[in-house]
Structure 1
Amino acid sequence: MMRYLLAQAHPLTIQAEPSVLSGLVILSLVILIWVLLLRRLNQPYFIAYILSGVVLGPDGLRVLTNPELIIQLGELGIILLLFFIGLEIRLPDLTKQVRKPLLGMLFQVALSGLAAWMVGAYMDWSVPVMLLVAFVLSLSSSAIIHPYLAQHNETNTPLGTLTTGVLLLQDMATIPMLLTLNFLGKGQFNAVELTLMVVGGVLSLLFLQMAMRSRLIQLPFADALLHDHDLQVFVGLVICFGMAWLTQAFHLSAALGAFLAGVLVNRSSATRWLEHSLLPFRVFFLALFFVAVGLQIKIDFFLANWLLVSILVLLVLIINSLLGTLAFRAAGSSWRDSVYAGALLSQLGEFSIVLGLTARQLGLINEFIYQLTLSVVALTMLITTLWIEVIRRFLFRPVPADSESAKHQISQ
């Protein structure tokens, strides 16, 4: 019976012998090899996940033959990531400074739109393509930057809090962006969906306001959960995915609901064990998301257009770094912090892929533009840590003792 059930499942298969188990073994082994290599090079593990998807995908060894399911499972990783962000963030600090990240995000979106319009007018792009490029440019990767900030103990620094705020607002901005693309593709807004979105948005704001004032969770059986790991896992999953499902029912982002769930848990000292109970799930599903990114990359397309892709990747990193720097400077940050923040937000994000996929499904762009978008997004993700480290070392390089002494004498 078990063999029959495994034979009927399609998630991970090898062409010669369809099997979920064999696919998982090969995927885990390839990821492990890449991780061991990248660990020696002091590079983040998400690079290993993307490369594993490329190697095992339809254009590689053809081990993973159902990328659609991997994509769906990978989306759970984004939901869990936003849940953990809600768990870790200091909501009072973020709320007090909401004006700065909002200003920074809006300024970045405006500059991205201007850049897309200037290039689009020269290249004779259509309006949908211009809008898609503007949207894609204005979104960075929470899945990459939050672990990077945590690794350098910068999550709760003033710059880290501001960067986190901008990333959260970018993630929320994908909702009107998706709505705009749907309008361009279908030619009309759905009044019911729009009403539900407005109601859901208002309820989300009220929820955050309540979370600021009081501790929201008081579980009647909290003491029993302290020593029951199984119950901890399922309570955590119900809270996380339940809130994600609720916001999705209002046609908002499921990731937004997961973030609100994290805030909910964060405001209660009785549920702090959730972070440790759900961590393995976050690692696994977030890895699947990046694997799904690699699965969608067509090697033949990249080889045929490597020069164009490389030029666009370099332009994106430079332009986004510049736009981020100007946005953070406009929000009141110092030039050094602004340049660093610009580097942090230089890459394109996971929601950029979602926007590209939506535009292709709606017929707004062709397969060439979609593959070009996907390749550029993936490569900016792959090299972003190197880009950030180069700028970081330049900005935060130690000052020689004689230079410091000279500065002191000048100040005297």
Structure 2
Amino acid sequence: MAAETAHAAAAHGFDILPVVVLLAAAVVAVPLFKRLGLGSVLGYLAAGLVIGPFGLGLFSDPQSILHVAELGVVMFLFIIGLEMQPSRLWSMRGEIFGLGLVQVGVCIALLICVGLVLGFPAAQSFVAGTGFVLTSTAIVMQMLEERRALGLPKGRRIMAILLLEDLAIVPLLALVAFLAPGGAEVTLQQRLASVGIGLGAIAALVVAGRYALDPMFRLLGKARAREVMTAAALLVVLGAALLMQAAGLSMAMGAFLAGVLLSESSFRHQLEADVEPFRGVLLGLFFLGVGMALDLSVIAANWRLVAVSAVAYMVLKTIGIYGVARLFRAGHREALERAVLMAQGGEFAFVLYAAATGVGILDVTGDAILTATIIVSMAATPLLVIAHDRLVPKPAPSLEGMEAPENLSASVLLIGFGRFGQIVSQPLLARSCSITIIETNTDGIRDARDFGFKVHYGDGTRLDILHAAGAGEARLIAITVDDREASLKIAELVKAEFPLVPVIARAFDRGHAIELIHAGVDFQIRETLESALALGAKGLSLLDVDDEEVARVVENVRRRDAERFAIEITDGIYAGRDLIHGNVPVKGSGSA
């Protein structure tokens, strides 16, 4: 019945059923896999396998979807380019052409050996190995984004390597043409011409980006037509990608360059907002297409070769990446994480293998086996990352230069010296109070030392540390740690062991404040209460409410909150939300 309906729909116009199936697969699989801790990439791959020609058979041609979905990778690189100002990119030149070039060279040398050991000709071994060297930009970038590591130095180094690999596709395609039967007959003049075309395309894009794009967006901005701005953003991305593709370069590289050229434009944030929805949908579609393209019949017929190849390539690539990272003085943890993230083959391998098949280096079966090997490695990467995160212990903080509290004595013991504790210390220091400060964040201790603060390393949840820090002799204990559970534990411990010492504490919300009061603290304050009231008061002032009325309204809000808070403490009632009850009627729902 569904097939007849789809056929009837196709006969009368656009067939919407495939779109619905793709969206449904993503909506069901991705939240499920993320809930299981397996990540969104593996969810897309699994969904694609289920609905593809080798699963339920709802799609018969995954390659057609992959061709469209590659635009997701293109747009992803455009957005990354928007974050990379030319000055920042220039500062990465050493990492791109140093670290990136060495990693690609070492991995090519290692991975060629796999094909040679398995008995394949040198040309086929070269193509198979170099294809696997080209890491999946889509998978690695997605995982860096999920791990919030894109802006960190280790994320920047991985991105530099990925950029070099994007550049490497150009000479690799030229080498494929040279290795092809009769490829050596291609003249030097023809090779120089292809290189010149590529450089000319890059120069044209740079000139257009520098002198044409910003004026164009300024002109369109005056028209105040949001849909035209969105169309222009897509035009820039796809136009740059098309130009690079026509010149024999990668589409992703063109989009990245366009993003870099627009990174200092005043319209950068607008462009990012316009392209982001398309990027997300198309990138998900790309992973779905990769899952569909996993030919289970090829794997079943050649499962030993696929398994051996995938394991050998991933192990050797991991060793190569780790070794190069250590050579460039990366720490063990960073080197291992980089090796696990980049162990798979990537989407550019499909391009390289297709080119090799087209010129006769690979046959159709060889292309299918290598493609299956790449996809298996892509599907295995999220599992490897999960295993890495669970098996590799979290780094212990370096205690070099740290001083533990020992027989200290001061009028105030401040536990926690983060953003809240630092502000609390200011009025105490202004009145010349002697303060002992303990903190467990070693980086924070070192930073505080640079500003002249003496901070000791110590865990306030341990009774021996509290004794050593002078809690028994203190006239006041302030709990300002940035950890809800630790704060409550410290409060209970302090009031049990030092009941005569007044305790003040930072609360995160109403529920935490009530818990602290039950633990016996003498005073607590929600960390956002007074700042939020001050901000609301300023808002009223900007709305031309006179100062006396502002003060009256704020005091009324504070009084009502205190009354409600007292009732909650007495009755043990807490709704689980940090709301100020009974102050402002909510339209359509009575009073709040």
Common fold by TM > 0.5 = yes
Greater share of helix residues, 1 or 2? Answer: 1
Q: Secondary structure at the match of 2:60?
A: coil
What's the RMSD between the two structures over aligned residues? 3.2
What displacement does 1:203 show? Answer: 5.8
Match of 1:354 in 2: 351
Instruction: Judge conservation of contact 1:175–1:252 (CA < 8 Å) in 2.
Output: yes
Please list, as runs of the form range in 1=range in 2, the aligned pairs for 1:52-67 lying within 5 A after superposition.
52-67=47-62
Whole-angstrom distance in 2 between the partners of 1:152 and 1:135? 28
Whole-angstrom distance in 1 between the partners of 2:291 and 2:377? 13
Whole-angstrom distance in 2 between the partners of 1:157 and 1:396? 20
Q: Secondary structure at the match of 2:135?
A: coil
Instruction: Judge conservation of contact 2:107–2:321 (CA < 8 Å) in 1.
Output: no
Q: Secondary structure at the match of 1:165?
A: helix
Instruction: Judge conservation of contact 1:217–1:267 (CA < 8 Å) in 2.
Output: no
1:337 matched to 2:334? The reply is yes
Q: 1:40 to 1:5 in 2, by over 3 A?
A: closer
Amino acid corresponding to residue 57 of structure 1 in structure 2: G
Deviation larger for 162-171 or 269-278? 269-278
1:126 matched to 2:121? The reply is yes
What displacement does 1:40 show? Answer: 1.1
Amino acid corresponding to residue 71 of structure 2 in structure 1: L
Q: Deviations over 1:164-200 (max 9, x none)?
A: 0110110111111112212323524475574243343
Deviation larger for 358-367 or 228-237? 358-367
Please list, as runs of the form range in 1=range in 2, the aligned pairs for 1:276-287 lying within 5 A after superposition.
276-287=273-284
Whole-angstrom distance in 1 between the partners of 2:54 and 2:369? 16
Match of 2:11 in 1: 7
Please list, as runs of the form range in 1=range in 2, the aligned pairs for 1:8-407 lying within 5 A after superposition.
20-185=15-180, 187=183, 188-189=185-186, 191=189, 194-201=192-199, 204=202, 217-218=214-215, 219-221=217-219, 223-224=221-222, 228-392=225-389, 397-399=394-396, 404=399
What displacement does 1:51 show? Answer: 2.4
Which structure has the greater CA radius of gyration? Answer: 2
Whole-angstrom distance in 2 between the partners of 1:97 and 1:393? 32
What displacement does 1:206 show? Answer: 8.9
Q: Deviations over 1:355-398 (max 9, x none)?
A: 12222233212233222212221122112123234334555614
Whole-angstrom distance in 2 between the partners of 1:99 and 1:136? 24
TM-score (norm 2): 0.60
Amino acid corresponding to residue 221 of structure 1 in structure 2: L
Q: 1:215 to 1:24 in 2, by over 3 A?
A: closer
Whole-angstrom distance in 2 between the partners of 1:221 and 1:255? 27
Whole-angstrom distance in 1 between the partners of 2:365 and 2:43? 26
Instruction: Judge conservation of contact 1:129–1:365 (CA < 8 Å) in 2.
Output: yes
What displacement does 1:70 show? Answer: 1.3
Whole-angstrom distance in 1 between the partners of 2:115 and 2:55? 34
Whole-angstrom distance in 1 between the partners of 2:234 and 2:89? 25
User: Larger relative CO (CA 8 A, sep 6+): 1 or 2?
Assistant: 1
What displacement does 1:208 show? Answer: 6.5
Whole-angstrom distance in 2 between the partners of 1:156 and 1:189? 44
Instruction: Judge conservation of contact 1:103–1:331 (CA < 8 Å) in 2.
Output: no
Q: 1:52 to 1:385 in 2, by over 3 A?
A: closer
Whole-angstrom distance in 2 between the partners of 1:197 and 1:405? 53
Amino acid corresponding to residue 161 of structure 2 in structure 1: V
Instruction: Judge conservation of contact 1:197–1:252 (CA < 8 Å) in 2.
Output: no
Instruction: Judge conservation of contact 1:265–1:272 (CA < 8 Å) in 2.
Output: no
TM-score (norm 1): 0.84
Whole-angstrom distance in 1 between the partners of 2:342 and 2:207? 28
Greater share of strand residues, 1 or 2? Answer: 2
Instruction: Judge conservation of contact 2:77–2:256 (CA < 8 Å) in 1.
Output: yes
Whole-angstrom distance in 2 between the partners of 1:337 and 1:104? 14
Whole-angstrom distance in 1 between the partners of 2:375 and 2:99? 24
What displacement does 1:8 show? Answer: 8.4
Amino acid corresponding to residue 250 of structure 2 in structure 1: S
Deviation larger for 234-243 or 120-129? 120-129
Q: Secondary structure at the match of 1:31?
A: helix
Amino acid corresponding to residue 201 of structure 1 in structure 2: L
Instruction: Judge conservation of contact 2:31–2:40 (CA < 8 Å) in 1.
Output: no
What displacement does 1:214 show? Answer: 10
Amino acid corresponding to residue 325 of structure 1 in structure 2: Y
Deviation larger for 290-299 or 310-319? 310-319
Amino acid corresponding to residue 370 of structure 1 in structure 2: D
Q: Deviations over 1:51-81 (max 9, x none)?
A: 2332222233222123342122122222212
Whole-angstrom distance in 2 between the partners of 1:383 and 1:119? 19
Structure 2 regions of 5+ residues with no counterpart? 1-6, 405-592
Instruction: Judge conservation of contact 1:215–1:268 (CA < 8 Å) in 2.
Output: no
Instruction: Judge conservation of contact 2:111–2:317 (CA < 8 Å) in 1.
Output: no
Whole-angstrom distance in 2 between the partners of 1:170 and 1:26? 34
Q: 1:221 to 1:406 in 2, by over 3 A?
A: closer
What displacement does 1:41 show? Answer: 1.3
Match of 2:514 in 1: none
Q: Secondary structure at the match of 1:62?
A: coil
Whole-angstrom distance in 2 between the partners of 1:267 and 1:164? 20
Q: Secondary structure at the match of 1:140?
A: coil
Instruction: Judge conservation of contact 1:93–1:161 (CA < 8 Å) in 2.
Output: no
Q: Deviations over 1:18-39 (max 9, x none)?
A: x721122222222222113212
Instruction: Judge conservation of contact 2:78–2:255 (CA < 8 Å) in 1.
Output: yes
Deviation larger for 213-222 or 193-202? 213-222
Deviation larger for 295-304 or 255-264? 295-304
Instruction: Judge conservation of contact 1:214–1:267 (CA < 8 Å) in 2.
Output: no
Sequence identity (%): 27
Amino acid corresponding to residue 169 of structure 1 in structure 2: L
Amino acid corresponding to residue 168 of structure 1 in structure 2: L
Whole-angstrom distance in 2 between the partners of 1:73 and 1:233? 19
Q: 1:216 to 1:161 in 2, by over 3 A?
A: farther
Q: 1:396 to 1:354 in 2, by over 3 A?
A: farther
